[in-house]
Amino acid sequence: MSMAIAIILIVTGFLAFAVISIRSGIFIKSITKSPFDGGILTFDDGPHPAHTPQILDLLDKYQLKAVFFCIGKNAEQYPELIRRIAHSGHLLGNHTYSHSLSSTFYGPEKYFAEISATTRILENISGQKIKYFRPPFGITNPSIAKAIQKSGLKSMAWNIRTFDTMTNNPSKILKKVKKYWAGDSIILFHDRLEVAVVAVSQLLAENALSGYARLDNVIINRE
């Protein structure tokens, strides 16, 4: 292999890693440790008409608060769930309007339109100020970074990925969360998935999340 080809492969590999690894912070610095007073659960891709209410019931039962990164078009379809999330004291986050893979190839202005539309929808429905953003699939690039910066939102990643989109076995999820759970944890779940409901139910029943951030409305509104 020639030196030129080797350099091209190295550069290509580095750029690919930078795009798919939001935690690398290469294009934009993202929050990778809980900014609250303990670990926190976060949920992507909602609201879901069946599973989001189940997650909310569990959080109410154990008096815990979470961060819900919602898709704009889903929020429009289920505004009552957005209101319930906010009125229950949880934090709403922006997860773009369409959550499409094609959006990761948008230019900064078009991607910014996805973010701003979703912020407007969430704030109008909930009355809550939106401060956090999570890019779909955890993908970042220069265009996405510019759009996030223009939006004024803070990018929030995670440090425990449950991979609930890749398994139907809640035991695998529980094992991983228990192994890595700490006071600075940001756990990534998807509230559109039944396995997430089961895993969260078991985690809370087993009191496995000691040191959970005791968020309340005052803290959420201040943050």
**Residues taking part in catalysis:** 44, 190
Judge whether 155 and 134 are in contact, CB under 8 Å: yes
Judge whether 136 and 10 are in contact, CB under 8 Å: no
Three state DSSP letters for the chain: CCHHHHHHHHHHHHHHHHHHCHHHCCCCCCECCCCCCCEEEEEEEECCCCHHHHHHHHHHHCCCCCEEEECHHHHHHCHHHHHHHHHCCCEEEECCCCCCHHHHHCCHHHHHHHHHHHHHHHHHHHCCCCCEECCHHHCCCHHHHHHHHHHCCEEECCCEECCCCCCCCHHHHHHHHHHHCCCCCEEEEECCCHHHHHHHHHHHHCCCCCCECCCCHHHHHHC
**Alpha carbon of residue 189 to chain centroid:** 8
Amino acid at 128: Q
Question: What would the two tokens of residue 168 be?
Answer: 């139907």
